[in-house]
Amino acid sequence: MTEPKIREVAAGVYLIHLPLPMRPTIVNVYLVRDGDEWALVDTGVNSGDSIHTLETALHSVGCAPSQVKQIICTHHHPDHFGTSKTIKQLTGARLLMHRAEFERSHTFAPQERPAEAVRFFDACGIPIERFVHIPSPAEFWSGLYVTTVPDGFIDDGDVLRVGEREIEVIWTPGHAPGHCVLYLRKEKILIVGDHLLPKITPHVGYFPGGADDPLGDFIASQRKVQKFDVNLVLPAHGGVFTDHRHRANQIIQHHEYRMREMLDFIRHAAHTGYEVAKHAFAMDETSPLTVQFPATFETLAHLEHLIVRNAVVKETRGDRVYYRGR
């Protein structure tokens, strides 16, 4: 079992490293305390190692499970919501998240890959016939994603209380449609989930049934958090950091560069999303599937945002969708 790594990053705010069975190998979850009340932000996945690590961490900081009054999930992805049922049963806490996130959580529930998804892959140009036996997200996460219905839903501008401490909810769609970050205004601390990571850019993908312009939402959310006065940023992956405005600008610039690169590629000829992804991410059909699928979905998010900017047109030819620069 993994030994817990926990440290107090600010008065009454603790960072806990929980193990993950894939890269990144760690997710940061946070405990926020005021008096005898505690709140847990995010849950990790539903593995024995992760649950044991969290239980040991609670004991090490003197937090009885029953003192955890709220479990606040930034979004529905497995490393953030995946063991919500177990931890709710352990603590008796109220489980809270944005409604849009709970509505998307079914994508990780046990089910066969829907026909809609297969048609979407084919339209993108993904050689789905080569990947017919690839497990769906639900199959991959089976057992690691055991969730329950939230006790309440949070939304932009809500104020949650842990003892006398106030936690403000900031809705930051993009990485996920209902992703929320949590702001401790008095302490100038921002708990950012996957929205604002110090070393990597969070995945922003275009999926069937998802947002029409996820990258546009994401860029707007990066600008939104820059309006807040923050001294300490607490991300879900990587180390804590301080200059949130600088990092947000870096992430925006990264996506602007990606869009220029893709637009150059399709300026004189139309291509499928998969073809653009192969160019932009320097991959081919032999690349790991953990690269090919996310790269394609992220490429589509960029191309769809370029349509919104009136820089790209989308054409349907038979069952395939092609993108061409104006």
Is pLDDT above 80 for 114? no
Is pLDDT above 70 for 233? yes
Is pLDDT above 70 for 141? no
Percentage of the chain beyond pLDDT 90 is 82
User: Domains of the chain by range and CATH?
Assistant: 5-257 (3.60.15.10)
Q: What is the pTM of this model?
A: 0.94
The residue ranges of DSSP E strands in 78-188, in sequence order, are 94-98, 152-154, 159-162, 165-171, 180-184
- What local confidence, expressed as pLDDT, does residue 3 receive? 62
Before 24, cis peptide (omega within 30)? yes
Is pLDDT above 70 for 64? yes
* Beta bridge pairs of residue 28: 17
Residue 34 backbone dihedrals phi, psi, to 5 degrees: -145, 115
What is Dmax (Cα atoms) for the chain? Answer: 64
| pLDDT, mean of residues 192-196 | 98
Assign 112 a pLDDT band (cuts: 50, 70, 90): low
Is pLDDT above 60 for 132? no
**The amino acid at 218:** F
What confidence tens digit (pLDDT) does each residue in 274-297 have?
999 999 999 988 888 888 999 999
**The amino acid at 5:** K
- What local confidence, expressed as pLDDT, does residue 134 receive? 63
Q: Average pLDDT of the chain? A: 93
Cα angle 205, 288, 79; round to 5: 50
Of 51-55, 140-144, 162-166, which gets the smallest average pLDDT? 140-144
Assign 130 a pLDDT band (cuts: 50, 70, 90): low
With beta carbons less than 8 A apart as the criterion, state whether 110 and 138 touch.
yes
Of 133-142, 146-155, 160-169, 225-234, which gets the smallest average pLDDT? 133-142
**CB atoms inside a 10 Å sphere around CB 169:** 20
